[in-house]
């Protein structure tokens, strides 16, 4: 069975943006692949943070991942810092990665534009990502289009390391050189139909820092309090104005949460001014409750028995430490340590 690896920042409780954009998909993929999901707390410290908050957010993320459907009996969930080999392999990869390749990464350029002083950790972030993936020799990484460049760097690093340190196979390459083993398989993108969910302000991507999210475990009243004032089609001013669903975030949320027949009904009602936006949002709130209610129930069960989450993370870390040590034994041997 092919192995997949993916990571998520310990940003606290999931919100519907990262649930729909990644985790819902992982819950499906865990039944199709040997799946390793990592809470990447080493990545999270490239921004200023409070240590106590990091612990709280990591715990909340773990709980919401399990509540959202990751089953520790089916997949592996663990915390990155419980497996120190991630940083060891990242250091090794730093020594074979030219600075220019890192400076060309789009995400680095965007962050560098916004900050006066850039930490080396932000520049080297994709090297740690490569180490995360290659440590487990993952065959595939579920990614959205915007992450393909980072994954490409992981592939380049794997190729470069294999060419420098892989054992000779005794065979010749097509161009007459000595063939080396593929110690690190080049991870392929598993392009998945992820949904980029806009924030409730309709302005920017849903993110906690923008305060435009719906927490995954929010109560029905809490969800309604956020949906009610949410931005819709800005040209639909009066109830009698027909709307354009495609420009409305509420419609896109319907596509994520409502049955197809309801989505069609929403489209018809909107374009014909058959209902007002509040009517539309009420239907959305019902659809969301159908999907999120059971998640909230699972979260409450896990909250009542926190050892279930801790045990899942411990077992995940134990398995990953075993895999990581195996890989690092091979790396150390081949690199002369
Ligand atoms: S009716 Fe629904 S889809 Fe149309 S603009 Fe209002 S909220 Fe958006």
Could you confirm whether 111 is annotated as catalytic? Answer: yes
Please answer whether residues 68 and 295 qualify as being in contact, where contact means their C-beta atoms are separated by less than 8 angstroms.
yes
Could you confirm whether 281 is annotated as catalytic? Answer: no
The whole-number pLDDT of residue 147 equals 75
DSSP H or E run through 281: helix 277-304
The whole-number pLDDT of residue 190 equals 93
Q: In 3-75, which residue ranges form alpha helices assigned H by DSSP?
A: 16-18, 24-29, 41-44, 51-67
The whole-number pLDDT of residue 189 equals 93
The whole-number pLDDT of residue 194 equals 63
Distance CA(320)–CA(183), nearest Å, equals 18
Which residues form ligand 1's pocket by a CB distance below 6 Å? 232-233, 236, 243, 245, 248, 250-251, 266, 270, 277, 280-281
The whole-number pLDDT of residue 330 equals 98
Distance CA(151)–CA(60), nearest Å, equals 27
The whole-number pLDDT of residue 195 equals 67
Could you confirm whether 238 is annotated as catalytic? Answer: no
Beta-bridge partner residues of 189: 141
Please answer whether residues 292 and 65 qualify as being in contact, where contact means their C-beta atoms are separated by less than 8 angstroms.
no
Distance 20 CA to ligand 1 centre (A): 20
Distance 283 CA to ligand 1 centre (A): 11
DSSP annotation of 215 reads B
Mean pLDDT by 10 residues, the chain (337 residues): 96 93 95 98 93 96 98 98 98 97 88 84 94 98 80 95 96 90 96 78 84 94 96 93 95 95 97 97 98 98 96 98 98 97
Distance CA(92)–CA(335), nearest Å, equals 10
For the whole model, what pTM was predicted?
Answer: 0.93
């Amino acid at each position: 069975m092919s192995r997949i690896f993916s990571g998520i920042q310990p940003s606290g409780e999931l919100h519907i943006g990262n649930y729909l954009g990644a985790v819902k998909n992982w819950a499906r993929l865990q039944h199709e692949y040997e799946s390793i999901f990592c809470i990447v707390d080493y990545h999270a410290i490239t921004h200023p943070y409070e240590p106590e908050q990091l612990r709280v957010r990591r715990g909340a993320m773990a709980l919401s991942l399990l509540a959202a459907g990751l089953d520790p009996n089916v997949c592996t969930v663990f915390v990155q810092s419980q497996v120190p080999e991630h940083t060891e392999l990242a250091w090794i990869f730093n020594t074979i990665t030219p600075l220019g390749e890192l400076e060309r990464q789009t995400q680095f350029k965007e962050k560098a534009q916004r900050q006066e002083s850039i930490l080396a950790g932000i520049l080297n972030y994709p090297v740690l990502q490569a180490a995360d993936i290659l440590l487990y020799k993952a065959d595939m990484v579920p990614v959205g289009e915007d992450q393909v460049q980072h994954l490409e760097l992981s592939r380049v690093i794997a190729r470069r390391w294999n060419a420098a340190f892989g054992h000779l196979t005794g065979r010749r390459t097509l161009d007459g050189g000595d063939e080396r083993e593929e110690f690190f398989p080049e991870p392929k993108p598993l392009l998945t139909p992820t949904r980029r969910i806009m924030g409730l302000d309709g302005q920017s991507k849903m993110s906690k820092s923008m305060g435009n999210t719906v927490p995954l475990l929010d109560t029905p009243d809490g969800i309604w309090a956020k949906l009610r004032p949410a931005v819709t089609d800005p040209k639909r001013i009066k109830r009698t104005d027909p709307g354009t669903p495609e420009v409305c975030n509420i419609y896109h949320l319907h596509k994520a949460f409502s049955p197809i027949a309801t989505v069609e009904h929403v489209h018809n009602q909107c374009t014909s001014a058959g209902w007002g936006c509040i009517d539309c949002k009420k239907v959305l709130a019902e659809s969301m409750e159908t999907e999120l209610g059971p998640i909230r129930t699972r979260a409450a069960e896990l909250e009542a028995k926190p050892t279930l989450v801790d045990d899942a993370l411990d077992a995940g870390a134990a398995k990953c430490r075993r895999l990581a040590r195996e890989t690092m034994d091979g790396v150390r041997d081949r690199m002369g340590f």
